[in-house]
Amino acid sequence: MISRIEFIQQSLETHLFFARIMKEHAFFLMTGFTPRDKKFTDRAAELMRAFEEFLADVVRVSDGVLGEDYLQSGQVVTQFTLEAEKATEFYTGIDISTKITKAEVELSPNMGRHHPAIERKVYMLNRRALTIIGNIIQFKNTILNDVLACKMFTLNYPLLIDHIMREAKLYQHLIMRLQKREVINIHKEAFEQEAFWNRIMAEHAKFIRGLLDPSEEELIKVAHNFGKEFDELTRESKAAMDCANDDVTKESLRATKNIRDFKAQATDGLLDCKIKSIILPLLGDHTLREANHFIHLLRIFKRY
């Protein structure tokens, strides 16, 4: 069984990263439907608000509880998040609660607040999370099935819908395990998660490649090459699951730092109106945070 402190910290860390990711998935889905599917647009808005309310509560409980290392890792918010939200709100006319972002920026690090009252609150937050994660998985599943059966048109790629479903399922899996206070075999788990996130990085590169304006030939080339590199790393980290090859982890870390820099430049370029594309700035920042999350994980894995 994991300790009380591990339960509190790991749960809150997981929520701070993933609940924001989920609220943004709902937002991206919302912007992709045609006028015919207004019910879907409304449902996406509902899910986005549910994750927003949840995230706001998580932020309140997290103040003074988490390590500086985690808070500075760029997976909760980045240097671009607030500006990307404002720009995306400007383009779409959809309200994005920037209050949460500001509160996240101001989160203070651990001051030894681990009393039993927090443990109870975290347990309840985890239960609440499992309900709304279940709802968003079901929603994504319906959309994906409708799109694949040609019953629905949406501006989001089918692979993107599948991609964000896998991210939601990972979140669900992690919280279910935390609720059972299961101890994780980090060595075995590391290669599994590494293969998961390498595939995610490959797909991000391919989404970016496909959403850039066709005239952005240089950036398309760079994105294409990242896609190939991470496809290869996905294969290698899958193979490493059986033989525990640590060199793959080093390679994944190096490549992920590179794609992180590329995503940071791209997000900056989108905000500065320097890149022609159909990428919302918040999507750029979203994929940047996921790269930062993966880097944080890889650094933990390397210690084992």
Site of interaction with Fe ion (CB under 5 A)? 21, 167, 200, 290
Nearer residue to Fe ion within complex by CB, 175 or 200: 200
CA distance 235 to 269: 31
Q: How far is the CB of 283 from Fe ion (least distance, A)?
A: 9
CB burial readout 164-179, b (16+ within 10 A) else e: bbebbebbbebbeebb
By beta-carbon proximity to Fe ion, the closer residue of 236 and 290 is 290
Q: Using CA atoms, how far apart are residues 289 and 276, in angstroms rounded to an integer?
A: 22
Cβ proximity to Fe ion, 229 vs 290, nearer residue = 290
Give 82's contacts (C-beta < 8 A, 6+ positions apart). 98, 101, 102, 105
Q: What is the dihedral of CA 100, 103, 109, 115, to 10 degrees?
A: -70
Q: Which residues contact 160 (CB under 8 A, 6 or more apart)?
A: 28, 203, 207
Nearer to Fe ion, 118 or 287 (CB): 287
CB of 115 to Fe ion, least distance (A): 34
Of the pair 61, 75, the CB lying nearest Fe ion is at 75
Q: Which burial class, exposed, middle or buried, applies to 90 when counting CB atoms under 10 A from its CB (0-12, 13-18, 19+)?
A: exposed
CB of 25 to Fe ion, least distance (A): 6
**Cα(60)–Cα(71) distance, integer angstroms:** 14
Nearer to Fe ion, 8 or 24 (CB): 24
Q: How far is the CB of 100 from Fe ion (least distance, A)?
A: 17
268 vs 290 by CB, closer to Fe ion: 290
To Fe ion, the closest distance from the beta carbon of 163 in angstroms equals 6
Find the shortest distance in angstroms from Cβ 287 to Fe ion.
6
Cβ 170 to Fe ion, closest distance in Å?
A: 10
